[in-house]
Chains A and B, each alone.
Chain A
């Protein structure tokens, strides 16, 4: 049974419940105490020891039901196939006698089991074979074939084939029955393998999918990936919030603040009973984001805005501006509407034109320069392709001078910077940081660094 529990832990990890070794030991002890007799109590005990949040309890409960329903599923299919072949044969009584008389010493074990319709024995043999083939190591759906083969081999399919050949020659009707039973057995094996994949392979598959998604270029996502990417971006936002939302404890040591100390102790004639220390003042990040939403960069800007606007706990103040031909402020739209609505509204207002960086910067300087203070990080997201219009790098210089930091995120690879109409090198001179930002991973890094600069 210990084996069974270990497999369950593995399945639980696959279902997204983090089971540490310490917790699995607790679960073992708990299970030893409550026993296996009552399924409800066993479920409660495992839920108590392993799952540590409401979501995890849900996931683990489902996993438990799936895991311990395995024998039932097998029974069902076994009875189904019994019913099927029972229908093919006139009466169950006859099959019984047939089953009882058929096993002759020269037939293999598996054949005898199948002929006798010994459901329990088959289920047990199947479980043993699955163990022997270490089915719980299955990770990817591509492994289904190999595991099925291994299980069938462990069951003794080779001997079964020999028997089948022999029977076809000697007793065709028996052979027919055996063929049907073998088919049912194969189906059973396939079901078992599929269930195992569902239980054990999920973790691996999810990880792989996430890894691919994290490194996929944001600008060229397929439609179905966009939804998944949004989920991923939300997860990234949550991670960043967890990391940065808690203000670091201010230090109570360092330089003595003489002026403040004297002031505090004025009541005692300046004898310093209470001391105060100089503190480094930490600001929450203030961000002004300028996003290019012209065709080539729109998708990346979309995700970037989604991310930056789900960081309320971390970031004090975000003002976002979108531009292609001209520039508008979009903070209110993003705060008040669902991401989908917001994006389509922004697109309808400024999107899909050819980008004019110079003009947009001029718009910004005219209307919103006051939003940039010495505490602000200005983030420009764009490919710096100016369509050979005036880049107005002088405005960028002024923005840079006013702000704490100016970060440029460019979805294009470094190789492309400066080629064609890209004005990246000219702009880069005024930026504190320029980095490539084409995938979710790079996006996370970039935003994380920006926020961390305030800690």
Chain B
């Protein structure tokens, strides 16, 4: 399945992602298609667990490309994101090459003559061999191209954002000692953000902005179907129906797609064929991650289950 040509149509993207187990909404497919055609990074925003990171994984799997992941956190800096000089190696080499250096400089009588000779050899110790590539540089060096995932960019500092700008707009990195390193094949870049803080306009400007919200009921059913094989259609409908009702509540953390999938797996493991309120009450902790949320939902469970059951019949 590895083909590096951009997709021919939006449908091709949808089916391609589906083959990698990712059911994409039209917006997502359009975004991926456009990202490849006009060579722009995609900035994906949305609540946790709606499949932002999964999109990058699916894209890489479909394209048969390597995925390079760059997890952002506070205090992330150049040395961990771009490149680092291998100081130890440099030091070791100078020690080993000491004699050789002595030989080379042996004939020189004055200090300046020795310096001149040394200059003739160029910057041997600041060459590519001594650069330790970090994710961003690695992504540019992939001969076949790759999918670069910059995960949770909102967790990093504002300085790091500025660092990304060069790679995002020109697919290149400047290393002062070596010059500019451009991408062999332009990687497909996906940035994700949970909206913890507002990203700078400069960054946003360089990206396609994709917002993934909670999927529609039909789409979510298809997602569950592809992720949890062996689940009956009626149970699937009930699960999704139930979760959609929970999302209408005022909760601290709304259950997202990943929770739906986990829950579906749990129910399949428990071999329940129908959603009944006993099972729901026992497994609610899979769905909701805060005690307060569980307390809010508990009294509603019975009516939700009934409603979801009815939806399952008619839908």
Q: Which residues of A contact B (CB under 8 A)?
A: 18, 20, 22-23, 26, 29-30, 33-34, 40-41, 44-45, 47-49, 51-54, 57, 246
Which A residue sits closest to B203, measured CB to CB?
A52
- The reply on B37 being an interface residue by CB < 8 A is yes
- Please give, as numbers and ranges, the residues of chain A lying within 8 Å of B10 by CB-CB distance: 34, 41
Contact in complex: B209, A22 (CB < 8 Å): no
Which A residue sits closest to B25, measured CB to CB?
A44
**Knowing A26-B38, A29-B38, A33-B34 touch, does A41 contact B205 (C-beta < 8 A)?**
no
Can you report 8 A-B residue pairs in the complex whose CB atoms are below 8 A from each other? A23-B205, A29-B37, A29-B38, A33-B33, A44-B26, A45-B30, A48-B208, A246-B158
A-B pair number, CB within 8 angstroms: 53
- Please give, as numbers and ranges, the residues of chain B lying within 8 Å of A41 by CB-CB distance: 10, 26, 30
Provide the bound-state CA to CA distance between A77 and B305, in Å: 49
Provide the bound-state CA to CA distance between A52 and B206, in Å: 10
Which A residue sits closest to B36, measured CB to CB?
A33
Which A residue sits closest to B157, measured CB to CB?
A249
Contact in complex: B209, A52 (CB < 8 Å): yes
Q: Which residues of B contact A (CB under 8 A)?
A: 10, 26-27, 30-31, 33-34, 37-38, 40, 45, 158, 201, 204-205, 208-211
Which B residue sits closest to A18, measured CB to CB?
B201
Main secondary structure on B side of the interface with A: helix
Provide the bound-state CA to CA distance between A287 and B45, in Å: 37
- Please give, as numbers and ranges, the residues of chain A lying within 8 Å of B33 by CB-CB distance: 33-34
**Knowing A48-B208, A52-B205, A54-B211 touch, does A30 contact B26 (C-beta < 8 A)?**
no
Contact in complex: A30, B34 (CB < 8 Å): yes
Most buried by A among B26, B158, B209: B209
Provide the bound-state CA to CA distance between A53 and B26, in Å: 19
Contact in complex: B40, A34 (CB < 8 Å): no
- Please give, as numbers and ranges, the residues of chain A lying within 8 Å of B205 by CB-CB distance: 20, 22-23, 52
Which B residue sits closest to A51, measured CB to CB?
B209
Contact in complex: A53, B38 (CB < 8 Å): no
Contact in complex: A49, B208 (CB < 8 Å): yes
Additional pairs, 5, CB under 8 Å, beyond known A48-B210, A49-B34? A18-B201, A26-B208, A41-B26, A47-B27, A54-B45
Contact in complex: B27, A52 (CB < 8 Å): no
- Please give, as numbers and ranges, the residues of chain A lying within 8 Å of B204 by CB-CB distance: 52-53
Provide the bound-state CA to CA distance between A29 and B37, in Å: 9
Most buried by B among A26, A34, A47, A48: A48
Which B residue sits closest to A56, measured CB to CB?
B209
- Please give, as numbers and ranges, the residues of chain A lying within 8 Å of B26 by CB-CB distance: 40-41, 44
**Knowing A23-B205, A246-B158 touch, does A44 contact B37 (C-beta < 8 A)?**
no
Contact in complex: A34, B201 (CB < 8 Å): no
Provide the bound-state CA to CA distance between A76 and B276, in Å: 52
- Please give, as numbers and ranges, the residues of chain B lying within 8 Å of A34 by CB-CB distance: 10, 30, 33-34
Provide the bound-state CA to CA distance between A34 and B27, in Å: 13
